[in-house]
Amino acid sequence: MNLAKIFGVHAAQSALDYAPKKIKQAWVDQKRQDERVLSIVKGLQKHNIRAEKADRKKLDNLSKGSNHQGIILEVEMPAMRSESDLKAVVESAKQIPFWLILDHVQDPQNLGACLRTADAAGVQGIIITKDQAVGITPTVCKVASGAAEMVPVYQVTNLSRTISWLKEQGIWIAGAAGEAEQTIYATDVNMPLALVMGAEENGMRRLTREQCDFLVKIPMQGSVESLNVSVAAGVLIYEIFRQRLGT
């Protein structure tokens, strides 16, 4: 069991809303009497989770300097899925495949935001690498606001090999790249698809790019050359979603 501490009112409320059974322990500032914290305490009690009253010093020690806002929960982190899990899901899928692949994305804020968008737009799962990539962390869960419990994340050892296997299953691979000739809006993406997003600074690796069936870009008019990974993923995912809706 992978346990971790999460801090703050927003993170605690999200855990209570989406995964109360994963909460194992709680600590609350004995001096906090504001409505938001008291509401969380009532929610914990409803699920038979005891909130231990603690002083500021203990909370500071437990949070190791993080801004806890007077509340800390110890929760079981969502499980990472394996390559064999991925193959089993793809082979048994009854819906049109829609996957997100993150090539060495290392910022937990980006993974959390991608999870939230993926959940909203019907992405079946996110594929990441085991090395040089962020996994499920308390920060990821906080940013995802419950989506980390809903959207499975699969770790693979060799991304190039995994992409080749996905292609053998009839899934098209679309890579996001600023140098692509076509924009996402001029491309038919209403097909079994996996969208690949590259790392924060360097984009997709060469081998990953070569595995893509086609590349797409987001049109840019300003002076900024590129968007944040999670923002770009949101734009691309929703255009794919829009085309699938037929609107």
Mean pLDDT of the region 228-247: 94
pLDDT at 246: 83
pLDDT at 247: 67
Strand order in the sheet with 98-102: 153-156, 125-129, 98-102, 193-197, 172-176, 214-216
Q: What is the DSSP letter of 233?
A: H
The mean pLDDT of the chain is 92
Does residue 35 sit in the same domain as residue 152?
A: no
pLDDT at 117: 97
Does residue 110 sit in the same domain as residue 55?
A: no
Residue 24 to residue 217: CA distance in whole angstroms: 44
Predicted confidence (pLDDT) at residue 63 exceeds the cutoff of 70? yes
Handedness of CA 5, 103, 199, 238 (dihedral sign): negative
Q: What is the DSSP letter of 204?
A: S
Residue 85 to residue 118: CA distance in whole angstroms: 19
pLDDT at 168: 97
- Is there a binding annotation on residue 218? yes
Does residue 131 sit in the same domain as residue 211?
A: yes
Does residue 114 sit in the same domain as residue 168?
A: yes
Task: Kindly tell me the burial class for residue 225, based on how many C-beta atoms sit within 10 Å of its own C-beta (0-12, 13-18, 19 or more).
Answer: exposed
pLDDT at 67: 85
Q: Which amino acid is at 123?
A: V
Does residue 45 sit in the same domain as residue 122?
A: no
- Max avg pLDDT among 136-145, 209-218, 221-230: 209-218
Does residue 145 sit in the same domain as residue 240?
A: yes
- Is there a binding annotation on residue 178? no
Total domains in the chain come to 2
Does residue 182 sit in the same domain as residue 128?
A: yes
Q: Which of 76, 105, 127 is the last residue of a domain?
A: 76
Mean pLDDT of the region 182-201: 94
pLDDT at 220: 87
Residue 12 to residue 75: CA distance in whole angstroms: 10
Does residue 47 sit in the same domain as residue 120?
A: no
Does residue 124 sit in the same domain as residue 232?
A: yes
- pTM for this predicted structure: 0.88
Domain range holding 37?
A: 3-76
- Is there a binding annotation on residue 62? no
Residues 74-95: tens digit of each pLDDT: 999 989 999 999 999 999 998 9
Mean pLDDT of the region 239-247: 91
CATH number reported for the structural domain that contains residue 58 in this entry:
3.30.1330.30
Residue 80 to residue 44: CA distance in whole angstroms: 26
Does residue 149 sit in the same domain as residue 203?
A: yes
Mean pLDDT of the region 70-74: 93
